[in-house]
Every structure is written in structure tokens, then in C-alpha cells.
Amino acid sequence: MLHYTQTGVGNQSVTRPGFIRLSAAVFSTLAGIGSSILIARTLGPNAFGIYTFVLWLATVFVPIIGVGMSTVTNRSIAEIQHQQEPHMAAGIFRFVWRCQSHSMFVYCGIYLLLVVPVSWWFGGSAPVLAVLLAGVGALPLLLSGIVGVTLRGLQRFDLLATIHLFSAVAGLFLITLAAQVPVTPGGQSAQIGLFLLASALAGTFSLAVGVICVMRLLPVRDATKPNGLVVDRLTRGLSNSVPLFLLDGIVWQRSEVLLLGHWQSTAQLGFYSLSAIISAHLMEFSPVALSTCMLPLVSRAIPHWRYTSAADAFVKTSLSITLLALPVCILTIVFCPAAVVLCFGTAYLPMVLPLRLLTVSATIGSIATVSLTHLANDTGRRAQMRLGVVAATLNVLLAVPCIVLWGITGAALASMIAQIVSAIGSMLICWKLIFG
């Protein structure tokens, strides 16, 4: 949950996106949704299950080494760069790029060693070629995080949104081309590979555009090497808490697909993965809508408006997100069968019940993002760690029997319970820290 959008305390910290940035974000989202629908309809549940599973395997551990892949490291490095003059900012970019390149080589080595054992363990859910191509697609993602952090440090949010739009449109275009390739009977493995390759190419194109933009904005060739103090701050900012990441991954990053990939069919894996992806986007919707649309509108309509204290911000922001999230939850639960048939076809109807269960926990998790904002700076770390251990253990203990008894519905039930415990626990920890 460290990747959630942060919301500010006063009107000075409210995001004020312009028309270009908002338009780019909307069209990027629509292009991404269009790509997912096209892939799901073209592949069908069985092949789509393989596609989503190998992508998850390739990217689930990326945030642990990826610069700019979590909100905490993103914000820390961007703030350091923002405080420096251009030549020093360029030196920071080169330093972070070098660190990320070293981490990327380590990632590639470990990944290549695990390809064959992973493919053997999961069988048809993870073919060797698909696992390799998914890993190729993860590499541009690692380096794109550095470009994103640098552009945020330079306050070039409109440019960053435009690059995201370019990536989404390029991905939709390449996936549309891949969908037109004739498939021979039994040739869905080749089509999965084409879609994975299209995603990797789209990420590479957007990375190249981002690097060119940074090179034009900063004197990278004449960069000033960061001094010891800056390097120390960067090193501390680049570090991620591995235990918290692992606990977060078990609870919130659909880790139960490891059991589904080994025990269930690829179609069941596709149904569950798609429902988990949709619920994750639903969880992000209310915080993003509040921070990028609602709060800026209020701030412009009432120029002198601000929260009076951290407690006031916590209560009012939580209430605002609740009022946004609950209608979205109700509408999703009621209309998801019709929406699934319209977007993905009747073949995907088995995902409706898991989606409804995960929507409930996604709504509570969405409300809990306010608490996680206050807890992001090592506040209540011990309490967060204990809560993470409880929620992760609960997920593991429930997932095994529930999946054996009820398949993907059991996986969704176990995940929902663990996520609700994690989200409510975070809110209680934050409430205790603020109100004492």
C-alpha cells in the first residue's frame, strides 16, 4: 500500500493539476483500460490467466529494488532533487541511474536462475518463454521510475503526464497490432508472447522519450557529482524496508495467485487475476479523485481554505474519501455482472463473485490510505510491523483451506478478510497516534 496517492494537510500541499495534466491522465487511464479489455477478449480466460500470472511473477518484486516504485522513495528523492541547482540535480540523476543499473543486473541474474524452477513448479501456468518475455518487460519499468522521480523533482508534472499518455497510447497501438496477427489452432502461446512483447516495446519507447526529456532539461553531460551529505541522503532515501514490503505483498499484492497457479486451472487464474486488478484500481480511484480533482476545486473556490490541524485533516479527508468510495463500491457490486459481460464477454462471468468480495476490502483499503499517508514517515513502525505480521499470517492460514474448498472464491474471501484487518488496523493505529 506504499504506492497509494498521498493527500496533503493544507491547501499548499494540494495537487493543482492543470487541464493538460488531467486530460492526459484521463486518456492514459482509458487507453490502459482499452488495452486490458482487448487482451482479455482476444486471449480468452485460459491464455489470459497465463499472461497475467507471468506478468505478476516478473513485476511483484520490482518495487523492492526499483527507484521511484513506491511513494516513500519517490517523494524522498524528488524532494532532494528539487532542492538542488541544475548541475547537482543532473548529478543526482546520474547517481540514481547508476545505482538502479547495478540493481537491475542483480535482478536479471536472479530472475534467469529462477525461470526454469518456476516454470517447472507452476507447469502450464508459467511457460518458460512467457516468463522470459515478461521479465524483459519489467526492465524498462525499473529505469522509467528514475525518469519519473527526476521529472517530479523538476516540477514537470505536465510533461510526466504526457509521457504516461504516450506510453498508454503506444501500448494500445502495439497490442491492437498483435491482436490482428492470425492465430493457428493451439498457437495461443505465440499470441501471449506477442502481447508481452508489445507491452515491453511500449515501455521501452516511453523510457526513451523520458530520457530524452531529462537530457534536454538537465545538463547531464556536465553534471556535478553529489557530495557526501547528498549521497548519504540519497542512499537512505533509496532503501526500502524489506520486511514491510514482503508483508504488504502477501496482503495487498494478490500473493494467493501462487497457490492458484499451482492448484487451479489457468482459466481460474485468469478470473481471479482480473478481479484483483479491477479491485486494485477501484481502491486507487477515490484517493486519486480527491487529491487531483475535488481538493483543487475546493482550494480554488475558497482561496483561504485550509485544515486547522493534522487531526482535522485526518477526519475530514477520511470522511471525504468514504463519501466517494461507498457509492463506487455499491455501484460495482450491483452492476459488475452487466459490466463484465459488456467489456469481457460471458466467458468471464465466473469472476463476478470474487470481484464483489474484493471490492468490499478495496473500499475499506481506499479509506485507509489517509491513515497510511500519516504513517508513511516511519511513524508507528513497530505497530505497523505487528499489524502486517497478523494480516499476512491470517491471509496465509485462510488461503490454503479456502482455496481447496472454494477455489477462486475462497482466495478472494481469504484476501478480503486479511485486507480488512490490515486497513482497519492502520486506521486505528493512526487514530491513536493523532488523538493519543
- Of 213, 239, 265, which residue constitutes the final position of a domain? 239
Same domain, 223 and 254: no
Burial class (CB in 10 A: 0-12, 13-18, 19+), 155: exposed
For the chain, the straight-line distance linking the first and the last C-alpha, in angstroms and rounded, comes to: 24
Question: Of 169-183, 195-209, 243-257, 382-396, where does mean pLDDT reach its minimum?
Answer: 243-257
Q: Which domain holds residue 427?
A: 241-436
State the pLDDT at residue 385: 86
Q: What is the pLDDT of residues 42-91, one digit of tens each?
A: 999 999 999 999 999 998 877 776 654 566 666 777 777 777 888 888 88
* Averaged pLDDT of the chain: 84
Question: Of 157-171, 213-227, 291-305, where does mean pLDDT reach its minimum?
Answer: 291-305
Same domain, 113 and 193: yes
Domain count, the chain: 2
Spatial separation of the C-alpha atoms in residues 377 and 220, rounded to whole Å = 31
Same domain, 198 and 259: no
Q: In the chain, pLDDT over 70 holds for what percent of residues? A: 89
Dihedrals φ, ψ of 306, to 5°? -165, 160
Q: What is the pTM of this model?
A: 0.89
Same domain, 327 and 204: no
Q: What is the pLDDT of residues 321-348, one digit of tens each?
A: 999 999 999 999 999 999 999 999 999 9
Which of 210, 212, 206, 215 is closest to 86 using CA atoms? Answer: 215
State the pLDDT at residue 237: 59
State the pLDDT at residue 95: 85
- Of 211, 239, 267, which residue constitutes the final position of a domain? 239
Question: Residue 70: in which H helix or E strand, if any?
Answer: none
Q: What is the pLDDT of residues 281-302, one digit of tens each?
A: 999 888 888 877 777 777 777 7
Same domain, 183 and 195: yes
- 127-148 mean pLDDT: 88
Q: Is the pLDDT of residue 102 over 60?
A: yes
pLDDT band at 11 (very low <50, low <70, confident <90, very high): very low
- Of 204, 239, 274, which residue constitutes the final position of a domain? 239
Same domain, 246 and 193: no
Type of residue numbered 414: A
State the pLDDT at residue 143: 85
Same domain, 397 and 431: yes
Spatial separation of the C-alpha atoms in residues 270 and 230, rounded to whole Å = 46
Same domain, 389 and 270: yes
- The winner for highest mean pLDDT among 43-52, 142-151, 309-318 is 43-52
Q: Is the pLDDT of residue 428 over 50?
A: yes
Same domain, 212 and 286: no
- What's the farthest any 2 CA atoms get from each other in the chain? 65
Same domain, 204 and 252: no
Same domain, 378 and 257: yes
- 25-43 mean pLDDT: 91
Question: Residue 36: in which H helix or E strand, if any?
Answer: helix 19-59
Q: Is the pLDDT of residue 36 over 60?
A: yes
Same domain, 210 and 247: no
